Amino acid sequence: MLYGLCILFPMVGGILISILLNDDKLPADRKAGIRRKRNRCYAALMLLTDLICALSMASRPGGVSFPIVGKAGIAFLPDTFGMVMMTLILTVYTLILFYSFSYMESEEREEIFFGFYFSSLGALIAVCLSGNLITLYAFFELATLSSMPLVLHEMDAKSVSAGKKYLFYSIGGALMGLACITMIYYLCGEQVLFTYGGFMSPEMIAGHEPVFFALVLLGIVGFGTKAGIWPMHGWLPTAHPIAPAPASALMSGIIAKAGVIALVRMIYFAIGPSLLRDTWVQRTWTVLCMITVLLGSSMAFMEKELKKRLAYSTVSQISYILLGLSLLSMTGLWGGLLQLFAHACAKGTLFLCAGMIIKRTGLRQVKDLSGIGKKLPLTMWLFFFAALSLVGIWPMGGFLAKWTLAQGTLESTKGFFAIAPVVVLLISAMLTAGYLLPVVIGGFFPGKEAKDQETERIKEPLLMLIPMAILCAGSLITGLFGYDILALLHF
């Protein structure tokens, strides 16, 4: 019962508030009052959702399972991994909600945005609570369908095209993942709940090895589509710049991580890493991750539009996580999860900073941001600290994540696959510094021509600044206490 409430309460509540407090047909003098009332209801809904989920984590009621068709059934069985992921999701969604109240103030169809905002939250909570692969797949797809309208929000030709691209890539990738799930159910012969270390054995796949390994790689690329793995990364740099800044922060910081959660569950909690270690599947996965890291960093370095630069950066940075997972070791997994936490906080901060810049100045091109640090100083300081995390500068979380990833690579592999990922990480770190730090340097230290321009400070709303600051602090906390956070997982 409590699990269903965690999932349905935000979904149903968000839709009802959006419908009942719709101000489209009201006169202009009443719209402001309805909007304030609607925002208070959204805030109460979010905080109550946090409370309900906290109660479910504290009480840890038993699992719930019921069959649907044959071996396939729905099961909810939260473990420490699911609980930690759910805590991260709730934290980021709560912070971005309050930021959105200010950002979306002058936007049309605001109630539709928030309705789907809460629908996607419910779907992601269900992904975290999923106890088996079929449940994970069902709510993974629902997360795609409920988050697509966030990309479509502007409803112009570009946003519609971007929304379609996001949908086609995501559903196509999920179907690839479903092919792998179907094979796993066929070989297991029964419905099995997630277990760390996996529940499959060499005896199960005996005689089916070629098909099994091919479908596993298909599943890795399929679920990796949501995380932007090459060659299925094309939706990310298209959808992120089009969506409103709060949606971009969610897509990069949290929603794209649904692909990571799915891969952790499929590889580490279903198949088992030992079954794939030292196979061509592992080597191919690692190579795809390295290609994606370099591709994303290179494209971000060349990109001139701020939000699109951050989108290409997401392609690269999330593939750090996938690279850690591909090592199929405890150190690699820890490095990937540390990068997940650090990236969710840092990239969320960067997209929200970009939103502040766009909302307060209308500037989108990097070349136009010279001297922006004089106009929006607090925003640019937060941008700077978040950028340090992505580059991998201590004490921000990105440093601890990249250090652990490098250790995992050297510990778990030999020869080319021990050295190449470390080299790729170093090259990517330099490229990251090359496309993020000049924004800050130009913002605070403009050239002589920019100095002569008007630099009057622009008001930075606290409702936007505070969530950005807390997210940025989250990256610092990951850098200082990351291993303590991972110890909660009991792996």
| Mean pLDDT (whole number) for 305-334 | 92
- Return the domain boundaries, the chain: 1-269, 277-491
Report the alpha-carbon distance of residue 233 to residue 411 in Å, rounded.
Answer: 29
Q: What residues pair up with 75 in beta bridges, in sequence order?
A: 65
Please state, as a whole number, how many other Cβ atoms lie within 10 Å of the Cβ of residue 178.
19
| Mean pLDDT (whole number) for 165-191 | 88
Please state, as a whole number, how many other Cβ atoms lie within 10 Å of the Cβ of residue 20.
10
Cα angle for residues 173, 199, 187 (degrees, 5° grid): 65
pLDDT in tens, 394-416: 999 999 999 999 999 888 777 78
Q: How many Å is the Cα radius of gyration of the chain?
A: 22
pLDDT over 70 (residue 61): no
- Residue 414: the pLDDT is 76
pLDDT over 70 (residue 65): no
- Residue 242: the pLDDT is 81
- Residue 70: the pLDDT is 60
Report the alpha-carbon distance of residue 136 to residue 123 in Å, rounded.
Answer: 10
- Residue 67: the pLDDT is 63
- Residue 188: the pLDDT is 85
Q: Give the chain's mean pLDDT.
A: 88
pLDDT over 60 (residue 451): no
pLDDT over 80 (residue 274): yes
Q: Which residues neighbour 475 within 8 Å (Cβ) at sequence distance 6 or greater?
A: 342, 345, 346, 349, 385, 386, 389, 396, 397, 398
Report the alpha-carbon distance of residue 253 to residue 63 in Å, rounded.
Answer: 29
pTM (2 d.p.): 0.93
pLDDT over 60 (residue 88): yes
Q: How many helices (H) and strands (E) in the chain?
A: 21, 2
Q: Is 269 exposed, middle or buried (CB count within 10 Å of its CB: 0-12, 13-18, 19+)? A: buried
- Which ranges of 189-279 does DSSP label H, i.e. alpha helix? 202-205, 209-224, 235-242, 245-250, 257-263, 273-276
* Max CA separation in the chain (angstroms): 74
Give phi and psi for 196, each to the nearest 5. Answer: -60, 130
- Among 209, 210, 137, which residue's Cα sits nearest to residue 175? 137
The bridge status of strand 64-69 relative to strand 72-76 is antiparallel
Would you say how long the chain is, in residues?
491
CB 208 within 8 A of CB 188: no
- What is the signed CA dihedral for 305, 113, 146, 123, rounded to 10 degrees? 110
Report the alpha-carbon distance of residue 275 to residue 282 in Å, rounded.
Answer: 10
